């Protein structure tokens, strides 16, 4: 039997502070009705002062290690998917590695926005399947709340995002379970349709007062264009990923989609004619937590006892880049 990368344990962490749509309507011109109608989001979590992306990652990683019955010292590699790092460099993974009490374990960041976790799985599984590393921590962690602008100018994105982290541990298996297939794609042609222009090294000194006044540090999105591409790409990549391992939609026990917008996921599920009982959503409670979304959702489905060993799971994402991808695994 081929060597495959299997999920040994999962963990997640959401900061305790709940921010409702009504809370946001107190600080800017929006409403619970607008947000719920367009996105399905009712509330999200925001960090308190002092907490950083690597702290969220640490909590989720500790939980994943405990669920796998492992200690940090058992890890051979750390991969963190995030585009909201504590600092410009080094990446979140260096701080996470230090906070886990490790001193030489290789640690890398991967920046593929909302598809980051699928890219991280594709990367980590290659290390496990090749036999290079045995135990790989794969974490998605995002802290959006400090980077959003709670004003009319930023409201189209400010209401959509939340903070959180999710993680899993991959290890080798020859039992026929584990990751069966994973596909990731990118289309840089549409990079500016969902992006944050500055700060960046396209500009002398990263940014300046004029650029800040213009709001070039506020996430910018062509919402309808993103929506249209997400609902086309997600079913397409999911079906192709399944077909490549001779599986069909009926074989899937659990569909996990990136949680950017409930309307996107409803449309994707409808296109696939997926059994609603097999489609899991948590966006109403979390908002979009980008690369943290899929591992948070996975851990919740596991913790709630909905996902059993041996069942077939798909994880499918779409995001800025554009990037998209899908992973199918037997849990
Ligand atoms: N509260 C109230 N009004 C808002 C608002 C907010 N938070 N944000 C924007 N608006 C206003 C706009 O100013 C605009 O007003 P105008 O018509 O007077 O110019 C209007 O609402 C836009 O509404 P509409 O065109 O109906 O928005 P939409 O149906 O395109 O929905 C999104 C907007 C963002 C919810 C939707 O396009 C979307 O979800 N896109 C995909 C987003 C996504 O997935 N992003 C992450 C990908 S990983």
With a 6 Å cutoff on the Cβ, whether 30 touches ligand 1 is: yes
Average pLDDT along the chain = 97
Nearest CA to ligand 1 atom 46: 260
d(CA 228, CA 221): 13
Closest atom of ligand 1 relative to the 30 alpha carbon = 1
Question: Would you state the structure tokens that stand for residue 241, as one six-digit string?
Answer: 């990923």
Model confidence over 30-72: pLDDT tens digits? 999 999 999 999 999 999 999 999 999 999 999 999 999 999 9
Nearest CA to ligand 1 atom 14: 156
d(CA 24, CA 37): 15
> For the residues 84-95, what does the mean pLDDT come to?
98
Asked if pLDDT for residue 186 goes beyond 90, the answer is yes
Nearest CA to ligand 1 atom 21: 156
The residues spanned by each domain of the chain are 4-175, 179-330
Asked, as a colleague might, if the bond just before 90 is cis with ω within 30 of 0, I would say: yes
* Same fold for the pair 4-175 and 179-330: yes
Asked if pLDDT for residue 11 goes beyond 90, the answer is yes
Asked if pLDDT for residue 2 goes beyond 90, the answer is no
Catalytic center residues: 114, 258, 288
Closest atom of ligand 1 relative to the 24 alpha carbon = 7
d(CA 111, CA 121): 13
Question: Would you state the structure tokens that stand for residue 316, as one six-digit string?
Answer: 């499918």
With a 6 Å cutoff on the Cβ, whether 260 touches ligand 1 is: yes
Q: Got the DSSP string for 243-274?
A: HTTT--GGG-SEEEE--S-HHHHHHHHHHHT-
> For the residues 126-152, what does the mean pLDDT come to?
97
> For the residues 189-210, what does the mean pLDDT come to?
97
**β-pair partners for 138:** 79, 168
> For the residues 98-104, what does the mean pLDDT come to?
97
179-330 carries CATH number 3.40.47.10: yes
Model confidence over 221-243: pLDDT tens digits? 999 999 999 999 999 999 999 99
The whole-number pLDDT of residue 1 equals 78
The whole-number pLDDT of residue 59 equals 98
With a 6 Å cutoff on the Cβ, whether 157 touches ligand 1 is: no
At the second CATH level, the architecture of 4-175 is 3-Layer(aba) Sandwich (3.40)
């Amino acid at each position: 039997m081929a060597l495959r990368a299997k999920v040994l344990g999962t963990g997640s962490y959401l900061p305790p502070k709940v921010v409702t749509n009504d809370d946001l309507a107190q600080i800017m011109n929006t409403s619970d009705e607008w947000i719920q109608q367009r996105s399905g989001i009712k509330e999200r979590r925001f960090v308190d002062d002092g907490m950083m992306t690597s702290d969220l990652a640490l909590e989720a990683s500790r939980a994943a290690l405990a669920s796998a019955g492992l200690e940090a010292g058992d890890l051979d590699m750390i991969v963190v998917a995030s585009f909201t790092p504590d600092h410009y460099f080094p990446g979140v993974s260096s701080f996470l590695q230090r906070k886990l009490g490790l001193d030489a374990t290789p640690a890398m960041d991967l920046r593929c926005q909302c598809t980051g976790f699928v890219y991280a799985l594709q990367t980590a599984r290659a290390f496990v399947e090749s036999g290079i590393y045995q135990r790989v921590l794969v974490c998605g962690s995002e802290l959006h709340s400090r980077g959003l602008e709670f004003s009319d100018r930023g409201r189209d994105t400010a209401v959509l995002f939340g903070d959180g982290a999710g993680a899993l541990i991959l290890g080798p298996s020859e039992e026929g379970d584990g990751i069966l297939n994973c596909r990731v794609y990118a289309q840089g042609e549409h990079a500016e349709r969902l992006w944050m222009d500055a700060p960046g090294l396209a500009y002398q000194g990263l940014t300046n007062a004029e650029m800040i006044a213009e709001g070039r540090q506020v996430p910018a999105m062509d919402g309808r264009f993103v929506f249209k591409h997400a609902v086309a790409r997600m079913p397409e990549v999911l079906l192709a990923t399944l077909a490549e391992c001779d599986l069909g939609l009926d074989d899937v026990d659990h569909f996990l989609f990136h949680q950017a917008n409930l309307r996107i996921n409803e449309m994707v599920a409808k296109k696939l004619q997926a059994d609603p009982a097999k489609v899991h959503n948590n966006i109403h409670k979390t908002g979009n937590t980008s690369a943290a979304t899929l591992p948070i959702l996975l851990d919740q489905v596991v913790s709630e006892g909905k996902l059993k060993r041996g069942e077939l799971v798909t994880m499918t994402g779409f995001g800025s880049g554009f990037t998209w991808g899908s992973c199918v695994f037997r849990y």
